[in-house]
Structure 1
Amino acid sequence: MLKIEHVFKTFNTGTVNEKKALTDLNLELNDGDFATIIGSNGAGKSTMFNAIAGSFYTDSGFIELDGEDITFTPEHTRSRYIGRLFQDPLMGTAPHMTIEENLSVAYLRASEHKRGIFSHVSKSDRDKFREQLSLLDMGLENRMNTPVGLLSGGQRQALTLLMATMVTPKLLMLDEHTAALDPSTAAKVLDLTKKIIKERNISCLMVTHNMNQALELGNRTLMMNNGNIVFDVAGEERSHMTINDLLNKFEENAGKALNNDRILLSTKEGV
């Protein structure tokens, strides 16, 4: 349902700061795939997400989603059917707007093709918001008029997840969305993430620094280096892989050892 073919992106071309961020990137994601992504800093993980989301146009190649070429589709249009969470909990919500207002904006944007840009949420919509918030088990359903800026990071990230999936997206992209949370809250948000993805069969790409998550979550593991996918494993082969196997495959295919301290620390601590 997602196809990326021969995508290149270079920033600051022709200057001393030139950076080849994506180099002949190719990826096919099947409907319902949940792929975890591992790679060192600067490997191209977030840049790939930005290319898919339309944060910039690629230099060459094409991106297709659900059979539609979206290579030059504006970012605001893609946001109607692509959900995205960032590592920073502050990035997914408007702090001065209430919980209800944030949910309303997200709901109307994603359902715009059905309801029209000048639609308003109804009482039944608000009841739906309250019902969905109750699933977070954070008491937010009783705080609908609270400005989001007063919530904790974990509450805001859980709310952002709800906003991104309230109208089931064609693709959900999670960019280390639990990394900035305390362990207990991170586990809660991750459990909620797995539940929503499974129940709605959402196709998902998830960047993680945790090697255990990379092998245990979803059905595929991708490893990136120098703006490209150097290893892609799924099925029976993935089910029998260990973390050391994954590290060895990266070194074999990338020509160097994985050197991300956070990733390597996770292999020792199991966190």
Structure 2
Amino acid sequence: MLRVESICKTFNAGTVNEKTALNNLSLVMNDGDFATIVGSNGAGKSTLFNAIAGLFYCDEGAIYLDDTDLTYLPEYKRSRIIGRLFQDPMKGTAPHMTIEENLALAYLRSSTDGVKGLFCRMSKANKALFQERLSQLNMGLEDRMKQPVGLLSGGQRQALTLMMATLVAPKLLLLDEHTAALDPATAEKVLEITKTVVQTHNITTLMVTHNMTHALELGNRTLMMDSGKIILDIAGDKRNGLTVDDLLKQFQVGTGKALDNDRILLSD
């Protein structure tokens, strides 16, 4: 499904600020896999997502999604098959446009004739689809489709962004700590919505999280990153019954150092 082959990325090469962000990293995700990713700040988690999404081209290596070579494919073309959510609820939506208009833009992923297709598709049936999908969030947004997105709370906006990213099911969904900026109760609600949407549409998913418990409970695989590499990839029986302490010990074995990120250690 997703093949990341020996990718490397160094920023500010040849300067005093040189930083190797991805170091010969390889990853294979099978169809329907849901993998959580944990690691300290600077481990390369968001950089990996940026490489897959096409924010930059890697210095070395290749990226494939099904039979499509993404390695040098522009970001806007990748966005047709890759959905992404960010930590900041303000990203991913147009605040001055209505909920309905935002969903219509997201629906463009299913169109092959650009903006013309958008207006052609804004039928009563499309609006009914939007309302039906919004009702699944249990936030009352289906009754507020004419309101600007900028009036929504952070949790409502993040849930809407998730709905937009999966309105036309992507081949790959990237969740970059998408609940980290929300209060605990709202974060749990958005997480439940996430699980339902991913399971319903069987979307191959990568989710960065700072919560070690979530990293072990969600999905079917847990990855740990450090210094631009994946140092642990655990699934199946080896993952079942694994505790947070076990995961921390695995990190120390893989890196030769203890995980010292307070944000991660205090989240459980």
- Output one character per residue of 1:8-30: Cα deviation in whole Å (capped at 9) or x when no partner: 00111111111100000100000
- The residue aligned with 1:112 is 111
State the Cα deviation string for residues 110-166 of structure 1 (Å, max 9, x = none).
1123x5542122221111001111111111111111111111100100000000000
1:238 maps to 239
Q: Does 1:173 align with 2:174?
A: yes
- SS of the residue 2:231 aligns to: strand
Aligned twin of 1:161: 162
Query: 1:240 Cα deviation (Å)?
Result: 2.5
**Mapping of 1:202-221 within 5 angstroms?**
202-221=203-222
Flag as ranges the 4+ runs of structure 1 deviating above 4 A: none
- TM-fit CA distance, 1:259: 1.3
Moved more, 163-172 or 254-263: 254-263
Q: Distance in 2 between matches of 1:55 and 1:237?
A: 34
Query: What are the equivalent positions in structure 2 for 1:89-100 lying under 5 Å apart?
Result: 89-100=89-100
- Supply the distance in 1 between the matched residues of 2:33 and 2:255 (Cα, whole angstroms): 24
Which residue is 2:11 aligned to?
11
Q: Trace 1:113-132 onto structure 2 (pairs within 5 A).
A: 113=112, 116-119=114-117, 120=119, 121-132=122-133
Equivalence for 1:36: 36
Displacement of 1:232 in angstroms is 0.5
Distance 2:115 2:240 in 1: 45
Q: Which runs of 5+ in 1 are unaligned?
A: none
In structure 2, the residue corresponding to 1:125 is in which secondary structure? helix
Aligned partners of 1:40 and 1:194: how far apart in 2?
24
Distance in 2 between the 1:242 and 1:184 partners? 23
Q: The residue matched to 1:199 in structure 2 has which SS? A: helix
Moved more, 153-162 or 249-258: 249-258
Aligned runs of 1:220-259 on 2, under 5 Å? 220-259=221-260
- Please state how far the C-alpha of 1:67 moved relative to its aligned partner: 2.1
2:55 alignment counterpart:
55
Q: Tell me, in whole angstroms, the C-alpha distance in 1 between the residues paired with 2:123 and 2:75.
A: 27
- The letter for the 1-side match of 2:116 is F
- The TM-score with structure 1 as length reference comes to 0.96
CA distance in 2 between partners of 1:142 and 1:261 (Å): 41
Map 1:186-197 → 2, pairs under 5 A? 186-197=187-198
User: CA separation in 2, counterparts of 1:2 and 1:63?
Assistant: 8
Separation of aligned partners in 1, 2:114 and 2:182: 36
RMSD over aligned CA atoms reads 0.9
| Helix, strand or coil at the partner of 2:239 | helix
Match of 2:82 in 1: 82
CA apart distance, 1:244: 1.0
Letter in 1 for 2:172: L
Give the Cα–Cα distance (whole angstroms) in 1 for the partners of residues 32 and 243 of structure 2. 24
Measure the CA separation in 2 of the matches of 1:144 and 1:240: 44
Deviations along 1:177-215, one digit per CA (max 9) or x if unpaired, are: 011111111111000000011111110000000010000
In structure 2, the residue matched to 1:69 is 69
TM-fit CA distance, 1:242? 1.2
